[in-house]
Amino acid sequence: MANNDVSVVETSARSVETAITQALAELGRTRNEVTVSIIDPGNPGRILGFGAQPARVRVSVRVPGDEGEDDESSEDTGHQAVHREQAFAPLPVGSANATAVAETARRILSELLHHMHFDEAHIEVVELEPLTLNVRAPDAADLIGRRGETLRAIQFIVGIMVNKALDTHVRITIDIDGYRARREVLLRDLALRFASRVVATGAPVQLEAMPPNERRIVHMVLAEHPDVATESTGEGDNRRIVIMLRH
């Protein structure tokens, strides 16, 4: 089924927390805006990872005004039921807390970059809500990594450290020399170009594997397209978007 509004996603990863983080990125939501169903907590396996099984979660956007439990309280996974995870309470919007969170995030990111030997990096707070930090550094490409892999790892680590330090859950976006903005322009162009190909040929097109935040951009660009629809397929790092004719 085409994932046009991207209101529910299922993801799998090595841990439940990583799977939830991937789903939140694809939905573009914070923890308090969604309901999390742990389909399978996974298994880390034995020594060297033998017997490991990925964790699987379903994350759905909450309907405004609906604070009750879901109608379905459990899902049979063959050996256990689905567990619900309670969301963290967000910091009050528009309060001095936003500035405090930004300063904490800036400090933690600065310390991390110092340990990575990027002492000349300059960090600026671009936006408080949602919190966005931008890093300017002489060797920006090394911080970005292949297709943004290093950047995503930095953002993930900083997010965990900030939320643990403040005992809350806030979404933090980290950019490096405007990489994300440039990448978004490229992805928008890519989505529209392949959509035109699908319309012209009638054949579906499968894009390269992308991280959740980049898949979300493609979904959003084509959500209102009159002739094509999108859906995500695959698991984990191999999850891809398929563009097809709208039925």
Architecture of domain 97-177: 2-Layer Sandwich (3.30)
Residue 84 has pLDDT above 60, yes or no: no
Residue 63 has pLDDT above 80, yes or no: no
Alpha-carbon distance of 106 to 135, in angstroms, equals 10
Across-strand partners of 59?
9, 36
- Among residues of the chain, what percentage have pLDDT more than 90? 36
Alpha-carbon distance of 166 to 12, in angstroms, equals 27
Alpha-carbon distance of 224 to 221, in angstroms, equals 7
How far is C-alpha 193 from the chain's CA centre? 24
Alpha-carbon distance of 229 to 224, in angstroms, equals 9
Architecture of domain 181-245: 2-Layer Sandwich (3.30)
Q: Which pLDDT belongs to residue 43?
A: 62
Number of other CB atoms surrounding residue 113 within 10 Å: 20
Task: Give residue-wise pLDDT tens across range 150-180.
Answer: 998 999 999 999 888 887 788 899 999 999 8
Residue 200 has pLDDT above 90, yes or no: yes
Residue 88 has pLDDT above 50, yes or no: no
Residue 78 has pLDDT above 50, yes or no: no
Structural domain boundaries of the chain? 8-64+76-85, 97-177, 181-245
Q: Which pLDDT belongs to residue 44?
A: 55
- Name the one residue in this structure whose structure tokens are 């990027």: 118
Mean pLDDT on 102-126:
91
Residue 71 has pLDDT above 70, yes or no: no
For residue 243, count CB atoms less than 10 angstroms from its CB and return exposed for 0-12, middle for 13-18, buried for 19 or more: buried
β-strand pairing of 34-40 with 55-61: antiparallel
- Among residues of the chain, what percentage have pLDDT more than 70? 79
Which residues, 6+ apart, have CB-to-CB distance to 201 below 8 Å?
Answer: none
Mean predicted lDDT score pLDDT of the chain: 79
Confidence of residue 16 (pLDDT cuts 50, 70, 90): confident
